[in-house]
Structure 1
């Protein structure tokens, strides 16, 4: 889903807005509607209107008035999402996994980029060894940042203990990393 969102969302959409888009895409129903509890938004630190406004300006979603108190109702505007997503139960498990992978005790207080990169790293790491590898430009695109900002965010994840180490391979430009044992699979991998 991160790869799809990298292609579907405009280049300038922030990491915080991409976190909202990820949760919406994974939680949508067959009518492309999403009901997000306000508690999830608070835990993601996304209850501010800026990420929503970015996605509305990109014409990717529309925030609607919810008939239920304590939730936000969203209508997604990207019909291609229906063809990109696995079944709804699998998507809901993946949404819950992404919450755990991106929002552990170590990432508390981190920016939207820190949370999104934490999810990306967990999704692309071996659940047993915690090691992973990815193309730096692809990682940057999927997280909505420039390459130099990606390197700073990786350094921050290492500083707070999400990553044991990371490096950019001089020959290929790929990023390699090793997650700490608590973050290696972000809880329970959605593919299991």
Structure 2
């Protein structure tokens, strides 16, 4: 889903809006509607309407009036999502997994970019060893950041202990890393 959103969303979409888009895409129903409890938005530390407006301006979704306090309802406008997603129970598990995968950056008080980067790293890491590798430009594109800003994000994740180490191969440009051990179960993967 991270790969799909990287191609479906404009490059200018912020990391906050990308986190919302990821949760929406993974939690949508067959009518392409999603109900997000405010608790989920609080857990990813998004409390402003700005990311929603970004997604509306990009014509990716439309927010709807909710009759229940404490939730946001949206209608997704990207019909290709239906072909990108596995079954709804699998997507629900992936959405919950993504919340846990970004948890380390959230508890350290870090921003949405680091949450999204943590999710990307976890999705591309071997669950047994915590090691992973990805093309630097792909990683930056999926996290919605300029290539030159990715090293700073990785350094910040290393500083808070989410990464034990990372390096960029000078010949291929690939980024290799080792993640710190996590307590969440990688039963669902948001990559793809």
| TM class, shorter-length | over 0.9
CA distance in 1 between counterparts of 2:52 and 2:144 reads: 15
Secondary structure of the 2:10 match is coil
Equivalent residue number for residue 55 of structure 2: 55
Secondary structure of the 1:13 match is coil
Equivalent residue number for residue 180 of structure 1: 180
Retained in 2: the 8 A contact 1:35–1:73?
yes
Cα distance, 1:107 vs structure 2: 4.4
Equivalent residue number for residue 159 of structure 1: 159
TM alignment of 1:88-167, pairs within 5 A: 88-104=88-104, 107-167=107-167
What TM-score, normalized by structure 2, do the two folds share? Answer: 0.95
CA distance in 1 between counterparts of 2:3 and 2:122 reads: 15
CA distance in 2 between counterparts of 1:126 and 1:24 reads: 26
Retained in 2: the 8 A contact 1:106–1:160?
no
Equivalent residue number for residue 13 of structure 2: 13
Structure 2: gaps (5+ residues): none
CA distance in 1 between counterparts of 2:42 and 2:163 reads: 25
Equivalent residue number for residue 34 of structure 1: 34
Equivalent residue number for residue 189 of structure 1: 186
- The number of residue pairs the alignment matches comes to 189
CA distance in 1 between counterparts of 2:67 and 2:152 reads: 42
Equivalent residue number for residue 85 of structure 2: 85
Change (3 A) 1:147 1:98: same
Cα distance, 1:108 vs structure 2: 3.3
Cα distance, 1:190 vs structure 2: 2.8
Cα distance, 1:191 vs structure 2: 3.9
Retained in 1: the 8 A contact 2:45–2:106?
no
Equivalent residue number for residue 171 of structure 1: 171
Deviations 1:90-115 (A, max 9, x none): 00000000000002376431111000
Secondary structure of the 1:104 match is helix
CA RMSD after TM alignment: 1.3
Structure 1: gaps (5+ residues): none
